Amino acid sequence: MNPWLILTFLVTLVFTFSTWLQPRAAKWSGGRESDHLMQVLLGDGRKILANHVFVQADVYFHSGYYPSVFDQAYTPTNSSHMTEPGHEEEPGHADGVDNQHETAENHESDHEKEMSFLKEPKDWIEAFGRRFMITEHKHLEAGKEREMLPFLKLSAELDPQRIDTYTVAAYWLSRTLGKTDQAEEFLREGLKANPRSYEILFELGRISYENRKDTARARNLWSAALDRWNEQEPQKEHPNLFALDQILVHLARLEEKQGNYAQAIHWLEEAIAKDATPSPDALRKQIEELKAKMPPK
Protein backbone atom coordinates (compact mmCIF):
# COMPACT_ATOMS: atom_id res chain seq x y z
CA MET A 1 0.00 0.00 0.00
CA ASN A 2 1.14 3.52 -0.76
CA PRO A 3 2.68 4.99 2.43
CA TRP A 4 1.52 8.51 1.46
CA LEU A 5 -2.02 7.25 1.42
CA ILE A 6 -1.64 5.79 4.91
CA LEU A 7 -0.14 9.06 6.15
CA THR A 8 -2.98 11.09 4.64
CA PHE A 9 -5.49 8.73 6.20
CA LEU A 10 -3.86 9.03 9.65
CA VAL A 11 -3.65 12.84 9.46
CA THR A 12 -7.31 12.99 8.47
CA LEU A 13 -8.18 10.66 11.33
CA VAL A 14 -6.37 12.68 14.01
CA PHE A 15 -7.81 15.93 12.64
CA THR A 16 -11.32 14.51 12.75
CA PHE A 17 -10.85 13.24 16.29
CA SER A 18 -9.44 16.60 17.33
CA THR A 19 -12.40 18.59 16.04
CA TRP A 20 -14.81 16.09 17.56
CA LEU A 21 -13.18 15.77 20.98
CA GLN A 22 -11.87 19.29 21.56
CA PRO A 23 -15.22 20.82 22.66
CA ARG A 24 -15.75 17.88 25.04
CA ALA A 25 -12.21 18.17 26.44
CA ALA A 26 -12.81 21.86 27.16
CA LYS A 27 -15.72 20.87 29.41
CA TRP A 28 -13.56 18.37 31.35
CA SER A 29 -11.37 21.20 32.62
CA GLY A 30 -14.39 23.03 34.00
CA GLY A 31 -13.81 26.08 31.82
CA ARG A 32 -10.30 26.69 33.14
CA GLU A 33 -8.82 27.01 29.67
CA SER A 34 -9.25 30.78 29.76
CA ASP A 35 -7.39 31.13 33.06
CA HIS A 36 -4.12 32.90 33.33
CA LEU A 37 -0.99 30.78 32.95
CA MET A 38 0.03 31.59 36.55
CA GLN A 39 -3.28 30.22 37.82
CA VAL A 40 -2.84 27.00 35.91
CA LEU A 41 0.76 26.57 37.08
CA LEU A 42 0.46 27.64 40.71
CA GLY A 43 -3.17 26.97 41.64
CA ASP A 44 -4.19 28.60 44.92
CA GLY A 45 -0.51 28.90 45.88
CA ARG A 46 -0.39 32.00 43.70
CA LYS A 47 -2.34 33.90 46.37
CA ILE A 48 0.51 33.45 48.84
CA LEU A 49 2.93 34.60 46.20
CA ALA A 50 0.65 37.55 45.34
CA ASN A 51 0.68 38.59 48.99
CA HIS A 52 4.47 38.42 49.05
CA VAL A 53 4.68 40.51 45.88
CA PHE A 54 2.23 43.08 47.32
CA VAL A 55 4.36 43.31 50.47
CA GLN A 56 7.35 43.89 48.20
CA ALA A 57 5.49 46.87 46.69
CA ASP A 58 5.03 48.15 50.25
CA VAL A 59 8.76 47.64 50.91
CA TYR A 60 9.46 49.78 47.84
CA PHE A 61 6.93 52.38 49.02
CA HIS A 62 8.95 52.64 52.25
CA SER A 63 12.21 52.86 50.26
CA GLY A 64 13.48 49.65 51.79
CA TYR A 65 12.76 50.56 55.43
CA TYR A 66 10.56 47.65 56.41
CA PRO A 67 10.23 45.21 59.32
CA SER A 68 11.74 41.81 58.68
CA VAL A 69 10.06 38.49 59.37
CA PHE A 70 11.53 38.75 62.90
CA ASP A 71 9.69 42.03 63.50
CA GLN A 72 6.28 40.69 62.43
CA ALA A 73 4.48 42.64 65.16
CA TYR A 74 5.45 45.85 63.35
CA THR A 75 4.36 44.83 59.85
CA PRO A 76 1.70 47.26 58.55
CA THR A 77 -1.73 45.71 59.04
CA ASN A 78 -3.38 47.26 55.99
CA SER A 79 -2.52 49.14 52.82
CA SER A 80 -4.27 52.45 53.61
CA HIS A 81 -0.90 54.15 54.24
CA MET A 82 0.03 53.35 50.63
CA THR A 83 -2.55 55.84 49.35
CA GLU A 84 -1.88 58.70 51.76
CA PRO A 85 0.33 61.39 50.27
CA GLY A 86 2.19 63.44 52.94
CA HIS A 87 0.19 66.58 53.71
CA GLU A 88 -0.72 67.77 50.25
CA GLU A 89 -3.42 70.41 50.18
CA GLU A 90 -5.72 70.17 47.22
CA PRO A 91 -6.29 73.66 45.89
CA GLY A 92 -9.93 74.63 46.19
CA HIS A 93 -10.84 71.65 48.33
CA ALA A 94 -9.21 72.61 51.59
CA ASP A 95 -12.44 73.49 53.39
CA GLY A 96 -14.38 70.47 52.28
CA VAL A 97 -11.80 67.89 53.16
CA ASP A 98 -10.74 68.94 56.67
CA ASN A 99 -12.31 65.78 57.95
CA GLN A 100 -10.40 63.67 55.46
CA HIS A 101 -7.12 65.32 56.33
CA GLU A 102 -7.74 64.64 59.98
CA THR A 103 -8.49 60.99 59.17
CA ALA A 104 -5.36 60.76 57.04
CA GLU A 105 -3.27 62.32 59.83
CA ASN A 106 -4.68 59.82 62.34
CA HIS A 107 -3.76 56.98 59.97
CA GLU A 108 -0.33 58.47 59.44
CA SER A 109 0.35 58.72 63.14
CA ASP A 110 -0.80 55.09 63.61
CA HIS A 111 1.43 54.11 60.71
CA GLU A 112 4.44 55.91 62.26
CA LYS A 113 3.88 53.87 65.42
CA GLU A 114 3.58 50.68 63.37
CA MET A 115 6.85 51.36 61.63
CA SER A 116 8.96 52.24 64.68
CA PHE A 117 10.36 48.73 64.79
CA LEU A 118 14.01 49.71 65.19
CA LYS A 119 14.70 49.83 68.93
CA GLU A 120 17.95 50.80 70.63
CA PRO A 121 20.74 48.48 69.44
CA LYS A 122 21.55 45.75 71.97
CA ASP A 123 25.26 45.45 71.21
CA TRP A 124 28.06 46.91 69.09
CA ILE A 125 27.40 44.46 66.24
CA GLU A 126 23.82 45.65 65.87
CA ALA A 127 24.86 49.30 66.29
CA PHE A 128 27.54 49.02 63.61
CA GLY A 129 25.23 47.05 61.29
CA ARG A 130 22.71 49.94 61.43
CA ARG A 131 25.23 52.14 59.61
CA PHE A 132 24.77 49.95 56.53
CA MET A 133 21.04 49.37 56.84
CA ILE A 134 18.25 51.66 55.70
CA THR A 135 17.07 53.22 58.96
CA GLU A 136 15.01 56.19 57.78
CA HIS A 137 11.24 55.88 57.43
CA LYS A 138 10.21 57.78 54.33
CA HIS A 139 7.68 57.13 51.62
CA LEU A 140 8.24 57.38 47.90
CA GLU A 141 7.36 60.81 46.52
CA ALA A 142 7.66 63.11 43.52
CA GLY A 143 6.73 60.51 40.92
CA LYS A 144 8.99 57.83 42.40
CA GLU A 145 5.81 55.99 43.41
CA ARG A 146 6.04 54.46 39.95
CA GLU A 147 8.64 52.07 41.36
CA MET A 148 5.86 50.11 43.11
CA LEU A 149 3.93 49.48 39.91
CA PRO A 150 5.71 46.35 38.61
CA PHE A 151 4.95 44.56 41.87
CA LEU A 152 1.33 45.72 41.95
CA LYS A 153 0.79 44.55 38.39
CA LEU A 154 2.35 41.18 39.11
CA SER A 155 0.35 40.86 42.32
CA ALA A 156 -2.88 41.48 40.37
CA GLU A 157 -1.93 38.85 37.82
CA LEU A 158 -1.22 36.34 40.57
CA ASP A 159 -4.33 37.09 42.60
CA PRO A 160 -7.03 39.03 40.71
CA GLN A 161 -9.25 38.94 43.82
CA ARG A 162 -6.87 41.13 45.82
CA ILE A 163 -8.63 44.50 45.65
CA ASP A 164 -5.92 46.64 47.31
CA THR A 165 -3.66 45.97 44.35
CA TYR A 166 -5.99 47.72 41.91
CA THR A 167 -6.88 50.67 44.13
CA VAL A 168 -3.30 51.40 45.20
CA ALA A 169 -1.94 51.17 41.64
CA ALA A 170 -4.78 53.27 40.21
CA TYR A 171 -4.38 55.87 42.95
CA TRP A 172 -0.75 56.56 42.05
CA LEU A 173 -1.23 56.17 38.31
CA SER A 174 -3.97 58.79 38.22
CA ARG A 175 -2.82 61.12 40.99
CA THR A 176 0.92 61.42 40.57
CA LEU A 177 1.87 59.88 37.27
CA GLY A 178 -0.90 61.38 35.14
CA LYS A 179 -1.78 58.01 33.62
CA THR A 180 -5.55 58.24 33.90
CA ASP A 181 -6.28 55.88 31.03
CA GLN A 182 -4.01 53.16 32.42
CA ALA A 183 -5.47 53.65 35.91
CA GLU A 184 -9.02 53.31 34.64
CA GLU A 185 -8.18 50.32 32.50
CA PHE A 186 -6.53 48.60 35.45
CA LEU A 187 -9.52 49.34 37.68
CA ARG A 188 -11.89 47.98 35.04
CA GLU A 189 -9.84 44.75 35.01
CA GLY A 190 -10.18 44.69 38.78
CA LEU A 191 -13.92 45.30 38.63
CA LYS A 192 -14.29 42.47 36.15
CA ALA A 193 -12.60 40.13 38.62
CA ASN A 194 -14.38 41.66 41.65
CA PRO A 195 -17.78 42.93 40.50
CA ARG A 196 -18.99 43.59 44.07
CA SER A 197 -16.04 45.73 45.12
CA TYR A 198 -17.08 49.14 46.50
CA GLU A 199 -13.41 50.11 46.79
CA ILE A 200 -12.83 49.78 43.05
CA LEU A 201 -16.09 51.60 42.26
CA PHE A 202 -15.04 54.40 44.61
CA GLU A 203 -11.65 54.68 42.91
CA LEU A 204 -13.28 54.71 39.46
CA GLY A 205 -15.56 57.49 40.72
CA ARG A 206 -12.57 59.43 41.95
CA ILE A 207 -10.95 59.21 38.52
CA SER A 208 -14.17 60.35 36.84
CA TYR A 209 -14.50 63.27 39.24
CA GLU A 210 -10.91 64.44 39.65
CA ASN A 211 -9.34 63.53 36.32
CA ARG A 212 -12.18 63.32 33.80
CA LYS A 213 -14.30 66.07 35.45
CA ASP A 214 -17.34 63.93 34.68
CA THR A 215 -19.59 64.70 37.65
CA ALA A 216 -22.59 62.65 36.57
CA ARG A 217 -20.52 59.52 36.09
CA ALA A 218 -18.69 60.06 39.36
CA ARG A 219 -22.00 60.42 41.21
CA ASN A 220 -23.26 57.18 39.68
CA LEU A 221 -20.09 55.30 40.54
CA TRP A 222 -19.96 56.56 44.12
CA SER A 223 -23.66 55.83 44.58
CA ALA A 224 -23.03 52.31 43.29
CA ALA A 225 -20.08 52.04 45.68
CA LEU A 226 -22.33 53.12 48.56
CA ASP A 227 -24.93 50.51 47.57
CA ARG A 228 -22.25 47.79 47.51
CA TRP A 229 -20.95 48.94 50.88
CA ASN A 230 -24.47 48.79 52.35
CA GLU A 231 -24.93 45.29 50.93
CA GLN A 232 -21.71 43.87 52.37
CA GLU A 233 -20.37 45.78 55.34
CA PRO A 234 -23.08 46.63 57.94
CA GLN A 235 -23.48 43.00 59.01
CA LYS A 236 -19.73 42.60 59.64
CA GLU A 237 -18.29 42.82 63.14
CA HIS A 238 -15.78 45.46 62.01
CA PRO A 239 -17.22 47.21 58.94
CA ASN A 240 -14.85 49.25 56.80
CA LEU A 241 -15.86 52.68 58.12
CA PHE A 242 -12.87 54.39 56.56
CA ALA A 243 -14.17 53.44 53.09
CA LEU A 244 -17.70 54.57 53.99
CA ASP A 245 -16.35 57.91 55.23
CA GLN A 246 -14.49 58.41 51.97
CA ILE A 247 -17.52 57.57 49.82
CA LEU A 248 -19.92 59.80 51.78
CA VAL A 249 -17.58 62.77 52.09
CA HIS A 250 -16.74 62.61 48.38
CA LEU A 251 -20.43 62.43 47.50
CA ALA A 252 -21.07 65.41 49.77
CA ARG A 253 -18.24 67.35 48.16
CA LEU A 254 -19.58 66.59 44.69
CA GLU A 255 -23.11 67.73 45.59
CA GLU A 256 -21.76 70.87 47.21
CA LYS A 257 -19.88 71.76 44.02
CA GLN A 258 -23.05 71.17 42.04
CA GLY A 259 -25.00 73.45 44.36
CA ASN A 260 -27.13 70.59 45.72
CA TYR A 261 -26.61 71.65 49.32
CA ALA A 262 -29.52 69.63 50.70
CA GLN A 263 -28.10 66.43 49.20
CA ALA A 264 -24.61 67.30 50.44
CA ILE A 265 -26.01 67.79 53.96
CA HIS A 266 -27.80 64.43 53.65
CA TRP A 267 -24.52 62.60 52.88
CA LEU A 268 -22.64 64.31 55.71
CA GLU A 269 -25.45 63.51 58.14
CA GLU A 270 -25.31 59.90 57.03
CA ALA A 271 -21.57 59.85 57.72
CA ILE A 272 -22.23 61.11 61.26
CA ALA A 273 -25.19 58.78 61.81
CA LYS A 274 -23.23 55.70 60.77
CA ASP A 275 -20.18 56.65 62.88
CA ALA A 276 -18.11 56.60 59.70
CA THR A 277 -16.12 59.68 60.57
CA PRO A 278 -13.55 59.93 63.36
CA SER A 279 -14.24 63.69 63.56
CA PRO A 280 -18.01 64.28 63.57
CA ASP A 281 -17.60 67.82 64.90
CA ALA A 282 -15.80 68.87 61.72
CA LEU A 283 -18.67 67.46 59.66
CA ARG A 284 -21.26 69.21 61.84
CA LYS A 285 -19.42 72.46 61.23
CA GLN A 286 -19.51 71.80 57.48
CA ILE A 287 -23.24 71.05 57.67
CA GLU A 288 -23.80 74.43 59.37
CA GLU A 289 -21.78 76.13 56.65
CA LEU A 290 -23.81 74.38 53.95
CA LYS A 291 -27.09 75.34 55.65
CA ALA A 292 -25.92 78.94 55.63
CA LYS A 293 -25.30 78.74 51.89
CA MET A 294 -28.80 77.35 51.19
CA PRO A 295 -31.31 79.87 49.81
CA PRO A 296 -34.14 80.69 52.24
CA LYS A 297 -37.34 78.71 51.63
Partner 1 sequence: MNTIFALAGIVIKELYRRKDFYVLFVITAVITLIMASVNVFQEGKIVRYLKDICLLLIWISSLAIAIGTAARQIPAERESRTIFPLLAKPVSRWQVIVGKFLGCWLACGIALVVFYLFFGVVSGAKEGSWPILQYFQAFWLQWAMLGVVVAMVLLGSVLFSAPSANATICLVALTGIFVLGSHLHKLAGTQPAPLAILLSVIYFLMPHLEWFYAARERLVFEQGLIGWGDCGLATLYVAAYVGLFLFLTWLIFRRKILTTG
**What does the H/E/C string look like for 169-229?**
HHHHHHHCCCCHHHHHHHHHHHHHHCCCCHHHHHHHHHHHHHHCCCHHHHHHHHHHHHHHH
Q: Choose among 62, 68, 73: nearest CA to 126.
A: 68
Q: How many residues belong to the chain? A: 297
Q: Which is nearer to partner 1, 173 or 254 (CB)?
A: 173
Q: Which is nearer to partner 1, 185 or 227 (CB)?
A: 185
Which ranges of 82-196 does DSSP label H, i.e. alpha helix?
A: 98-114, 124-129, 149-158, 163-175, 180-193
Q: Which is nearer to partner 1, 136 or 288 (CB)?
A: 136
**E strand or H helix at 263, and its extent?**
helix 261-273
**In Å, what is the CA distance from 146 to each residue of 76, 80, 141?**
20, 17, 9
Minimum CB separation of residue 238 from partner 1 in Å reads 31
Distance CA 198, CA 203 (A): 9
Minimum CB separation of residue 50 from partner 1 in Å reads 16
Minimum CB separation of residue 34 from partner 1 in Å reads 23
Minimum CB separation of residue 176 from partner 1 in Å reads 11
Q: Which is nearer to partner 1, 76 or 96 (CB)?
A: 76
Minimum CB separation of residue 150 from partner 1 in Å reads 5
Q: Choose among 167, 237, 151: nearest CA to 201.
A: 167
Q: Which is nearer to partner 1, 151 or 202 (CB)?
A: 151
Minimum CB separation of residue 21 from partner 1 in Å reads 37
Q: Choose among 201, 214, 215, 209: nearest CA to 166.
A: 201
Distance CA 271, CA 284 (A): 10
Minimum CB separation of residue 184 from partner 1 in Å reads 11
Distance CA 116, CA 200 (A): 31
Distance CA 230, CA 198 (A): 9
Contacts with partner 1 by CB under 8 A lie at 60, 63-64, 68, 70, 122-123, 125-126, 128-129, 131-134, 136, 143, 146-147, 149-151, 153, 169, 173, 177, 179, 182, 186
Q: Which is nearer to partner 1, 122 or 297 (CB)?
A: 122
Minimum CB separation of residue 132 from partner 1 in Å reads 4
Q: Which is nearer to partner 1, 200 or 268 (CB)?
A: 200
Q: Which is nearer to partner 1, 168 or 251 (CB)?
A: 168
